[in-house]
Amino acid sequence: MARIKPVRRLPFTREMMPSDQAPLLRDYRSAAWEALQELPLPTAKDEAWRRTSLAGFDFSALQVANGKLGKKVPAIPSTAILGPDLLAGKPHAVLQASGIEIKGTSHLEKEGVIFCSLTEAAREHPRLLEKILGKIVSPQEGVFAAAAGAFSQQGIFLYIPEGVTVEEPIFGLAITPGGKTAHFFQTVIYLEESSSAIYLQETLSLEERDEASLSGENLEIHIGPNARLQIAELQNYGKEVWSFGHKKARVERDGYLEWEIGALGSGLSKHFVSVDLIGAGAETRVSGSFFTDGKQHLTYNTLQRHLAPRTTSDLIFKGALKGSSHTVWRGMIYVAEGAQFVDGYQANRNLVLDPAARSDSIPGLEILNNEVRCTHGSTVGKIDEEQLFYLLSRGIPPKEAEQLIIQGFFHDTISRFSLPEIGESFWDKIKERLLG
Amino acid sequence: MSELVIKNLHVNVEDIEISKGIDLTIKSGEIHAVMGPNGTGKSTLAYALMGHPKYKVIKGEATLDGVDLLSLAPNERSTLGLFLAFQYPVAVPGVSVANFLRTAINAHRKYLDPEDKGISIPEFRKLLKDKMALLQMDESFAGRYLNDGFSGGEKKRVEILQMATLEPKFSILDETDSGLDIDALKIVADGVNAISSEDQGVLVITHYQRILNYIKPDFVHVMLNGRIVESGGPELALQLEEDGYEWLRERHAA
Ligand SMILES: Nc1ncnc2c1ncn2[C@@H]1O[C@H](COP(=O)(O)OP(=O)(O)O)[C@@H](O)[C@H]1O
Ligand SMILES: [Mg+2]
């Protein structure tokens, strides 16, 4: 194995930034680039990264994926959960390093819905984009947030105008090219007052290669007063991909966010997921389901911030681990001083299926007033022997019995997926790997 | 005609000998009762026969139609025709009764015929509906998570529902009457009587003779301190009801 050259910073130069951008994007990317200059790669000394080591990764070998670097795929990879059959005829975006294709949106446009590339949004709808881009996920938040801001060649913009309800789900697929590239992209979602939408996005890579590659994404969500978003995010990378994400939503008065996260892939993932409940009566429900095996490492840092009275949050993350994989969940509920009558909940449950697998579960609360009810729970355990024996005693063979228990374990989070068939395909992927 | 034969069975739990040499033969069509006070090893016998890993057989044998049960995994014992209605059924959250039963039925079918494609959904629905009606269970049970939040009586009913759908050759009912009120007990007993036939043998474990008024045993055995100390006909159960276990304890004080 080639020796890995340790680097303190991401080895990318200004020339790798996308050119030919509308002024809004150009300014945003310049600011992100400036921020990046102040941000070295995190080390174990950084509190938020204490349990995630970047030491094994050869950053020096990477180049930023763009139209030239990173092969374009003509068809959706067969590993996709949001496969071509599901997407056919539905509004969907396919994002690659080389470009973005958006289909099936003409009827939505009539209602004023915008579903387009970030480049187009900056050119055609700068006033709208300006309200959110970089305002929810600041490039200053971390090295990968800054890098995604500076180097994203492509991005998806979804805008739902006031009072518009889009009942049919809208899909997005982001395909990372792999092969020693760093692929950065952004998703920006803006819901105006009293609007509603369902958005499902999958991130995946081309067929597994052994050359390490990086994917970095920023996701910014704004939910206006009384608006409602259901978003499902599926992380389905090959194991050669190291994935970094800064994902943040802001929910205004009486708005509602249902956020479903499912993670299966990548060699290493480090994602920051946070929701700011900024208006009275805002509510969110966040659920995560993840499965790891081999040497995978997955970390989720979740943050529920109650910044206004009568806000409600309910978060549950569930993970099952095999092999010598390692997962970390660090949760935090923050309640601001003036935010009374808040109800916050966070839970993390882990099922450790092999002796070498390890799961760290670290809940946290920071509450600055008394009129709140906040609870949390976290568990790390093995398959229950008595449950297993019960199923065996009915003739169910050991592998199937284990599978049934694991399916039951995931039931409450997987059944929340906005489309039941997505939950099923997601479970099928886990099942394949349990049998394999 | 089938035969479950237990010979000189010794069982350890956590290195302590609980069953101390049990002999018992049950033929299809027969109903046997094993009675005895709490803590004498009745459940231990049941668990050991089913193959619970904590209950270690250190000596003796158990065969079903000549096949050595003790060398088989619990699921193989089940597919061979052994069934245990648990004294304390465990909950499996997130797994519906229907999904569980269907998986179990398919496992049995696949054991008999590796090419089997599994029971069809309409066929399964009908089977489940019939068996639930037999036990006077509401159809909504099928969608509930297995034993999750079930009352004691509901759990016992679901145990018998499983017995009814899997149609074992030999069933061990471990304290199936406990936690049941008299109406529920009648329903469960009627169910057991309806499904047990000339082809099935039943072993009713109880420390209370009440259930034997409804499921009438052909043979009654008394277990004390890990051994069967007395065997007889139904009249033995009645005698225990009258006189308790004290006279047997005295007679068999070691
Ligand atoms: N899983 C177990 N762990 C430890 N001791 C057990 C276990 N199961 C049974 N025992 C012990 O074995 C003895 C017999 O128990 P059991 O078979 O449950 O009796 P019964 O069913 O007749 O009431 C008791 O002393 C009990 O404490
Ligand atoms: Mg008992």
Contact assessment for residue B82 and residue A392, using Cβ atoms and an 8 Å cutoff: no
Cβ neighbours for A376, distance < 8 A, ≥ 6 positions apart: A331, A333, A345, A346, A347, A363, A364, A365
Q: What separation in angstroms does the CA of A82 have from each of A37, A233, A256?
A: 37, 11, 24
CB within 8 Å: A393 and B78: yes
Assess whether A85 and A234 both reside in one domain: yes
Nearest CA to ligand 1 atom 5: B13
Q: Which residues of B fall within a CB distance of 8 Å from A394?
A: 75, 78, 100, 104, 107, 162, 166
Q: What percent of chain B has pLDDT over 90?
A: 78
- Tell me which of A152 and A369 has the higher pLDDT: A152
Cβ neighbours for A113, distance < 8 A, ≥ 6 positions apart: A105, A158, A159, A160, A161, A164, A166
Q: CA A89 to CA B245: how far, in whole Å? A: 76
The SS3 call for residue A398 is: helix
Q: What is the pLDDT of residue A19?
A: 84
Crossing angle of helices B182-195 and B152-166, in 10° steps, is: 10
Confidence of residue A66 (pLDDT cuts 50, 70, 90): confident
Q: What is the pLDDT of residue B208?
A: 83
Q: CA A414 to CA A76: how far, in whole Å? A: 24
Query: How far does residue B159's CA lie from ligand 2's centre (Å)?
Result: 15
User: Which range, of A50-59, A64-73, A282-291, A360-369, averages the lowest pLDDT?
Assistant: A64-73
Contact assessment for residue B43 and residue B55, using Cβ atoms and an 8 Å cutoff: no
The SS3 call for residue A16 is: helix
Q: Which residues of A fall within a CB distance of 8 Å from B52?
A: 389
Specify the amino acid at residue A60.
S
B216 Cβ inside 6 Å of ligand 1: no
Q: CA B227 to CA B210: how far, in whole Å? A: 22
Touching check for B93 and chain A: CB below 8 Å?
yes
> Which domain, by its residues, includes A257?
16-278
B16 Cβ inside 6 Å of ligand 1: no
Q: Which residues pair with A188 in a beta bridge?
A: A157, A220
Contact assessment for residue B7 and residue B61, using Cβ atoms and an 8 Å cutoff: yes
Q: What is the pLDDT of residue A4?
A: 74
Q: What separation in angstroms does the CA of A22 have from each of A18, A27, A97, A121, A124?
A: 11, 9, 18, 9, 9
Q: What percent of chain B has pLDDT over 70?
A: 100
CB within 8 Å: B103 and A384: no
Counted domains in chain A: 2
Assess whether A95 and A243 both reside in one domain: yes
Q: Which residues pair with A175 in a beta bridge?
A: A204
User: Distance (Å) from the C-alpha of residue B217 to the closest C-alpha of chain A?
Assistant: 25
Closest CA to B51 of B70, B32, B66: B70
User: What one-character DSSP code corresponds to residue A337?
Assistant: T
Q: What is the mean pLDDT of residues B126-155?
A: 93
Q: Is the pLDDT of residue A91 over 80?
A: yes
- Give pLDDT tens digits for A166-193: 999 999 999 998 888 999 999 999 999 9
Burial zone of B122 (CB within 10 Å; 0-12 exposed, 13-18 middle, 19+ buried) = exposed
Contact assessment for residue A403 and residue A372, using Cβ atoms and an 8 Å cutoff: no
Touching check for B52 and chain A: CB below 8 Å?
yes
Q: What is the pLDDT of residue A72?
A: 66
Where among A230, A246, A278 does a domain terminate? A278
Q: Considering the domain boundaries, does residue A170 fall inside one?
A: yes
Q: ipTM of this model?
A: 0.97
- Top CATH class, B3-91+168-251: alpha beta
Where among A278, A304, A328 does a domain terminate? A278
User: What one-character DSSP code corresponds to residue A281?
Assistant: T
Q: Considering the domain boundaries, does residue A7 fall inside one?
A: no
Give the helix ranges, DSSP H, for A59-135: 84-87, 106-109, 118-124, 126-130
Q: CA B105 to CA B79: how far, in whole Å? A: 9
Strands, sheet with B170-174, edge to edge from the N-terminal-most edge strand: B82-85, B170-174, B201-206, B31-35, B219-224, B227-232
Report which bound ligand comes closest to the CA of B44: 1
Touching check for B108 and chain A: CB below 8 Å?
yes
- Give pLDDT tens digits for B40-87: 999 999 999 999 999 999 999 999 999 999 999 999 999 999 999 999
User: What one-character DSSP code corresponds to residue A137?
Assistant: S
Q: CA A121 to CA A115: how far, in whole Å? A: 9
B19 Cβ inside 6 Å of ligand 1: no
Assess whether A267 and A410 both reside in one domain: no
Q: Is the pLDDT of residue A280 over 70?
A: yes
Q: Considering the domain boundaries, does residue A151 fall inside one?
A: yes
Contact assessment for residue A325 and residue A297, using Cβ atoms and an 8 Å cutoff: yes
DSSP chain B: --EEEEEEEEEEETTEEEEEEEEEEEETT-EEEEE--TTSSHHHHHHHHHT-TTEEEEEEEEEETTEEGGGS-HHHHHHHTEEEE-SSPPP-TT-BHHHHHHHHHHHHHHHH-TT-----HHHHHHHHHHHHHHTT--GGGGGSBTTTT--HHHHHHHHHHHHHHH--SEEEEESTTTT--HHHHHHHHHHHHHH--TT-EEEEEESSGGGGGTS--SEEEEEETTEEEEEE-HHHHHHHHHH-SHHHHHHT--
Q: Which of B22, B40, B44 to mutate to test the pocket of ligand 1 (most atoms within 8 A of CB)?
A: B44
Mean pLDDT of chain A: 93
* Length of chain B measured in residues: 254
Q: Considering the domain boundaries, does residue A283 fall inside one?
A: no
Q: Is the pLDDT of residue A33 over 60?
A: yes
Cβ neighbours for A60, distance < 8 A, ≥ 6 positions apart: A4, A5, A7, A11
Q: Which of B17, B42, B43 to mutate to test the pocket of ligand 1 (most atoms within 8 A of CB)?
A: B43
Contact assessment for residue A245 and residue A219, using Cβ atoms and an 8 Å cutoff: yes
Touching check for B53 and chain A: CB below 8 Å?
yes
Q: Measured between CB atoms, which of B79, B89, B92 is closest to A395?
A: B79
Q: Is the pLDDT of residue A71 over 90?
A: no
Structure tokens at A426: 């997601």
- Give pLDDT tens digits for A118-164: 999 999 999 999 999 999 999 999 999 999 999 998 999 999 999 99
Closest CA to B69 of B59, B58, B77, B57: B77
Structure tokens at A184: 């950065």
Assess whether A247 and A105 both reside in one domain: yes
Confidence of residue A7 (pLDDT cuts 50, 70, 90): confident
Q: Phi/psi at B81 (nearest 5 deg)?
A: 120, 15
Touching check for B72 and chain A: CB below 8 Å?
no
- Tell me which of B112 and A408 has the higher pLDDT: A408
* Length of chain A measured in residues: 436
